[in-house]
Amino acid sequence: MAASTASAALSGNPNLTSSHKPHASLSPHSCLRFSTAISRKFPFKSLTTIPFTTATTAASTRRSTTVTASSTSFHGLCYVVHDNIDTDQIIPAEYLTLVPSNPDEYQKLGSYAFIGLPSSYETRFIEAGELKTKYTIVIAGQNFGCGSSREHAPVALGAAGARAVVAESYARIFFRNSVSTGEVYPLETEVRICEECRTGDVVTIELGESKLINHTTGKEYKLNPVGDVGPVIEAGGIFAYARKTGMIPAQTA
C-alpha cells in the first residue's frame, strides 16, 4: 500500500531529525496568498528549541536561511480528523501543567498531541511508546481547534512534528495562536477534504501554487488564500510583524 512505502521514505521526517530548524526569510510577496515562503517555524519559536544559540535574536535567526516561495512545500502522511475537534481533544487539560516555553516540556507536550481523541479514532496520531508523530499534515473538517484559548494546542501539534493543518474552517483563537506561534501552518479549503482523504494518505502541499495533492487518491485541491494574516505570517509572526511596522523597536542582541 502506498502509505507504508511512503512512511518508510518519510521516517526521516525532515523537521524532526535536526535540532536546527531552518527559518525562512520570507520573500516579500505583497499579495495576500501564502505563496510567501515559510518553513514552518517562526524565528522566535526557535528560541525555545535551540538553547545553544546565544545572543540570537529573532531577526538574525530568520536571516540564517532563505527559503523562497517556489521551494516551500510540505510532504508526508496525513492524519484525518472530523468536525469540531476541540482543544481538549488536541491536548487534554491535565497536560497543561507543561510550560511550552520550556524546551524539555515543549517536547513532552508534543508527545501528548491528539491523545484526547476518542477511541473511535483507532489509528492514533502518535503510536504507543513514540514521542513524535509520523503524520506531517493534519486534515480536518469545520471549526478545528474550538474550545479553549490554550496555545498548548497548536504547540503540541507542532512539537509532535505536524507542519500544517488543512481544515475547512477554524475556531478563532486556535487560528490566531497558530499564526502567532508559527507552530503549524493553518490552511483552509473550500472542499470537505476530510471526507475525501484517509489517514495515511501521502499528501503534498505546494504553498506557491496554493495546492494540496493527495498522491494516494490522485486528487488535487485548491487551498484558500491566507487572508489578513498574510502580512503577519510574511513578517514571521506577531513580534516580527510589530517590529517591521515600527510598532515595537527592533530587538537588540
- Our CB check for other proteins shows the closer of 9 and 250 to be 250
As measured in angstroms, the least distance from the Cβ of 145 to other proteins is: 11
The footprint of other proteins on this chain (CB under 8 A) covers a number of residues equal to 61
Contacts with other proteins in 31-60 (CB under 8 A)? 32, 44, 47-48, 58
The full DSSP string for 40-103 is SS-HHHHHHH-TT-TT--HHHHHHT----GGG-EEEEEEEE--TT-BHHHHS-GGGTTS-TTSH
Least separation in angstroms between residue 245's CB and other proteins is 6
Sheet of 185-188, strand order = 185-188, 164-167, 135-139, 73-80, 202-206, 211-214, 219-222
How many Å separate Cα 42 from the centre of its chain? 10
Q: Which of 50, 73, 86, 196 binds other proteins (CB under 8 A)?
A: 86
Residue that has been written with the C-alpha cell 513514540 in this structure: 130
Whole-number Å distance between alpha carbons of 252 and 222: 41
* Segment contacting other proteins by CB under 8 A, of 7-15, 70-78, 126-134, 223-231: 223-231
Confirm or reject binding of residue 149 to other proteins (CB under 8 A). yes
Among 66, 88, 209, 217, binds other proteins (CB under 8 A): 88
Strands (E), the chain: 73-80, 135-139, 164-167, 185-188, 202-206, 211-214, 219-222
Q: Does 98 bind other proteins (CB under 8 A)?
A: yes
Binding interface with other proteins (CB under 8 A):
32, 44, 47-48, 58, 84, 86, 88-89, 92-94, 96-102, 116-119, 142-143, 146-152, 169-173, 175-177, 180-181, 188, 190, 224-225, 227-228, 230-232, 237-239, 241-242, 245-248, 251
